[in-house]
Amino acid sequence: MRIPLAAPDIHEEDIEAVIRVLRTPTLSLGPKLKEFEHSVAEYVGGLHAVAVSSGTSGLHLCIRTLHIGEGDEVIVPSFAFVAVANAVRYERAIPVFVDIDPETLNLDPGSIEAAITPRTRAVLAVHTFGRPAELSAILDIARRHHLFVIEDACEAIGAEYAGRKVGGMGELGVFAFYPNKQMTTGEGGVMVTGDPEIAELARKLRNQGRSDGAGWLQHSELGYNYRISDINCALGIEQLKRIESVLARREAIAGEYDRRLAGHPGLKLPRLSMPRCRISWFAYVVRLGDPLAQFHRDWILQQMTARGIECGRYFAPIHLQPIYQSASGYRTALPATERNAVRSLALPFFNRIEEWQMEEVCQTLRELIDQALELEPGG
């Protein structure tokens, strides 16, 4: 693609940090792992951090360390990456899908209480596209019903709610650092918690159930290979050092998109700010207006791709995915989720995007929307 949807931002210091690790005999479970965990914990707010192989493995460890198991229910949004539901099912628990707020695209607190049953154990709140979920309301509901809150902050490193970093306000939080994120470790994630016992258990589980200090072939838990290498951690340490400048740059890019697309009648743009919140811009997702349903969104996506501009369909509702639609219990109608999902289009968004690229994206998108408004479905 001439203009990719996302791209990692790798500096010379990142490369040098990785090379330094490669010159040592310790490529995994070494000093860079502990340094990276300490850096993330301090940045988020003095929590315990457990670095793992991916955000998905971090979510799985959240479910496992809270002892959520077969028959238990976890409330999740359907407008999210599929990992939020898969992590629940890994432990034979049941993801209960609820609707989103049509403005923020985050979990709608008003839909949570109606979904609570005697089997409900937790609420998994996603900070969608880096926009903080309504944590005050979610935490209040969870306290009243004695539920855990897991924050999926995989898209939201550095986002803040009421002056606090997201990821650290529930019992557990997870960050992810895939190459399309604000910062990257290549592959990897971090689980954070204020509970030292949960952190200790998570460290055992990520390393095949081994306890720190025990023999390599001594296993006290049924664990997994969710380790992350010191190579990845070295990259993450350097990336985290400049996270604030990265977030400022991405906020500026969002502002530029807003300026160039403002006023177009066929588009609903994301708000640039939220009350009491700091947005960590993971993606810039526009929504097509009412006359432009899924047929037109997908046609626009195809046309953008044909012109060398990569866009994304964020997100296809999980409850409509084949793996969930074919199973019983996943056919709840979620009108806000379904309506917004077919209209959403993620535009190219990365740290080093240039002005000419943004202008071409916006000009092409405006032209295609104007053409789509003249088309009939199937035309």
DSSP 308-328: TB--B-----GGGSHHHHTST
- Of the candidates 120, 132, 174, the residue with the CA atom closest to the CA atom of residue 152: 174
Q: What is the pLDDT of residue 294?
A: 64
d(CA 287, CA 266): 9
* Catalytic residue chosen out of the listed positions 165, 181, 241, 268: 181
Note the pLDDT tens digit of each residue in 311-332: 999 999 999 999 998 776 677 7
Among this protein's residues, is 181 annotated catalytic? yes
Note the pLDDT tens digit of each residue in 332-346: 789 999 999 999 999
Could you give the 3-state DSSP secondary structure of residue 90? helix
d(CA 47, CA 62): 15
Fold agreement between 12-99+106-241 and 244-372: no
- Of the candidates 268, 56, 61, 60, the residue with the CA atom closest to the CA atom of residue 48: 61
Q: Where are the domains of the chain?
A: 12-99+106-241, 244-372
What's the whole-number average pLDDT of the chain? Answer: 95
pLDDT at 279 over 60: yes
The three state secondary structure string of 233-302 is HHHHHHHHHCHHHHHHHHHHHHHHHHHHHCCCCCEECCCCCCCCEECCCCCEEEEECCCCCHHHHHHHHH
Q: What is the pLDDT of residue 292?
A: 64
- What are the CA-CA distances from residue 324 to residues 59, 106, 125, 272, 319 (Å)? 18, 20, 19, 34, 6
Note the pLDDT tens digit of each residue in 180-194: 999 999 999 999 999
Q: Token pair 């306890």 is at which residue?
A: 211
Q: Token pair 């300490």 is at which residue?
A: 38
Angle, CA of 320, 325 and 327, to the nearest 5°:
150
Mean pLDDT to the nearest integer, 116-144:
98
Q: What is the pLDDT of residue 328?
A: 61
Tell me which fold the domain 244-372 belongs to: Aspartate Aminotransferase, domain 1 (3.90.1150)
Q: How far is CA 14 from the centre of its chain?
A: 23
CATH number of 12-99+106-241: 3.40.640.10
Which residue(s) pair with 371 in the sheet? none
Cβ–Cβ < 8 Å for 288, 340: no
d(CA 58, CA 152): 9
